[in-house]
């Protein structure tokens, strides 16, 4: 269950949403476009706004207009978005038909070729009638990006978009996303378990743990002054030499995320936190603002005073 998740992303900015597998990152993204498998999973608190407009409303018409058009999602596996038995061009043209009903057939064809070109598919006019399986994994990821862009979204949600790709291709896709984002002034929500990758793509980072935001700060601050014991642990697990290496797993920290049906009443990180005391076991910390971001920890001030004076345990 994901609770009390609120954040804002400005046009042209990237928000990195980081956490271990199963921490609720994808659920948060799905909540944004209302794709949650209801009623088992639901949004229990917080709000999600985009361009000042709440998008976690229950107005199905507003959400339908929003999905794809204002907000588009790309996933780890392009085949979740691509139809294997339909030609590439046709699939992009269908998205265009939906969002731009006034476009005629030849305009849609032209626009599709343009989109394939924008995402770096070589000689798109020759590739437009190929099937998805005739493309490599990296090229399929580009196709999915082209489809996502077809509706001209203001917000692009990228859910682990490079996790399945090898290092070189991963870097190319990330560079492509950054370039497209700048050209179009899109906001991007970049979801990943890879903290090193976040430092390359994001302006701001939200760290989630067990379905809750534990900390958020801009990129320079999160790396120079992480404040939550969990964030500190994640960063400490990234030795300087590999801090920028792709595929660094966050899962290196000892202990396990509490399971969904055994969520503690207190702090969800308590069983892994070396600073946990009785209060932590009993009372869930609230997300509170400080001068450079937000944090959810009862003892963050004491912990951080101790670490800056150099007398603390090394987290």
Least distance in angstroms from the C-beta of 2 to Mg ion? 12
Least distance in angstroms from the C-beta of 253 to ligand SF4? 13
CB 268 within 8 A of CB 284: yes
CB 98 within 8 A of CB 90: no
DSSP character for 240?
A: G
Least distance in angstroms from the C-beta of 21 to Mg ion? 7
Using alpha carbons, select from 123, 122, 135 the residue that is nearest to residue 91.
Answer: 135
In the set 148, 297, 304, 315, which binds ligand SF4 (CB under 6 A)? Answer: 297
In the set 285, 293, 304, 315, which binds ligand SF4 (CB under 6 A)? Answer: 285
Residue pointed to by tokens 């709440």: 54
Residue 216-235 contact track with ligand SF4, rule CB under 6 A, x = bound? -------------x------
In the set 26, 88, 192, 248, which binds Mg ion (CB under 5 A)? Answer: 26
Query: Measured from the CB atom, is 71 or 207 closer to ligand SF4?
Result: 207
Least distance in angstroms from the C-beta of 269 to ligand SF4? 4
Q: Cβ of 254: how many Cβ atoms within 10 Å? A: 6
Window of 48-56, 59-67, 158-166, 292-300 that interacts with ligand SF4 by CB under 6 A: 292-300
Query: Measured from the CB atom, is 230 or 300 closer to Mg ion?
Result: 230
Q: Which does 280 bind (CB under 5 to 8 A by kind): Mg ion, ligand SF4, none?
A: ligand SF4
Window of 16-24, 26-34, 133-141, 267-275 that interacts with ligand SF4 by CB under 6 A: 267-275
Name residue 218's beta-bridge partners: 204
Least distance in angstroms from the C-beta of 187 to ligand SF4? 29
CB 192 within 8 A of CB 16: yes
| Long-range pairs for 253-257: beta carbons < 8 A, 24 or more residues apart | 257/20, 257/22, 257/23, 257/209, 257/210
Least distance in angstroms from the C-beta of 134 to Mg ion? 28
Q: Which residues contact 311 (CB under 8 A, 6 or more apart)?
A: none
Q: Does 298 bind ligand SF4 (CB under 6 A)?
A: yes
In the set 7, 135, 190, 269, which binds ligand SF4 (CB under 6 A)? Answer: 269
Report CA Rg, the chain: 21
Q: Report the alpha-carbon distance of residue 303 to residue 121 in Å, rounded.
A: 50
Q: Which residues contact 313 (CB under 8 A, 6 or more apart)?
A: 274
Q: Cβ of 198: how many Cβ atoms within 10 Å? A: 24
Q: Which residues bind ligand SF4 (CB under 6 A)?
A: 229, 267, 269-270, 273, 275-276, 280, 285, 297-299
């Amino acid at each position: 269950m994901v609770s009390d998740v609120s954040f804002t992303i400005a046009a042209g900015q990237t928000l990195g949403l980081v956490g271990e597998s199963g921490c609720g990152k994808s659920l948060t993204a799905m909540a944004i476009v209302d794709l949650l498998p209801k009623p088992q999973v639901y949004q229990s608190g917080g709000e999600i706004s985009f361009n000042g407009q709440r998008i976690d409303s229950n107005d199905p018409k507003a959400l339908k207009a929003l999905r794809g058009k204002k907000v588009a999602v790309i996933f780890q596996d392009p085949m979740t978005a691509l139809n294997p038995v339909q030609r590439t061009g046709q699939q992009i043209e269908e998205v265009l038909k939906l969002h731009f009903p006034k476009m005629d057939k030849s305009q849609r064809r032209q626009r599709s070729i343009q989109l394939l070109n924008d995402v770096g598919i070589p000689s798109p006019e020759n590739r437009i009638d190929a099937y998805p399986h005739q493309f490599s994994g990296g090229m399929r990821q580009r196709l999915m990006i082209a489809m996502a862009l077809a509706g001209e979204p203001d917000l692009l949600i990228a859910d682990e978009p490079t996790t399945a790709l090898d290092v070189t291709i991963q870097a190319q896709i990330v560079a492509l996303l950054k370039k497209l984002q700048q050209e179009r002034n899109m906001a991007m929500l970049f979801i990943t378990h890879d903290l090193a990758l976040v430092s390359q793509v994001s302006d701001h980072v939200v760290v989630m743990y067990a379905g809750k935001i534990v900390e958020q700060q801009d990129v320079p601050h999160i790396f120079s002054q992480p404040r939550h014991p969990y964030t500190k642990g994640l960063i400490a697990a990234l030795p300087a030499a590999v801090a920028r290496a792709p595929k660094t797993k966050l899962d290196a920290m000892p202990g396990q995320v509490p399971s969904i049906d055994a969520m503690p009443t207190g702090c969800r990180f308590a069983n892994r936190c070396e600073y946990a005391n009785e209060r932590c076991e009993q009372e869930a910390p609230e997300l509170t603002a400080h001068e450079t971001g937000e944090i959810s920890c009862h003892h963050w001030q004491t912990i951080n005073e101790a670490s800056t004076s150099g007398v603390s345990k090394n987290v």
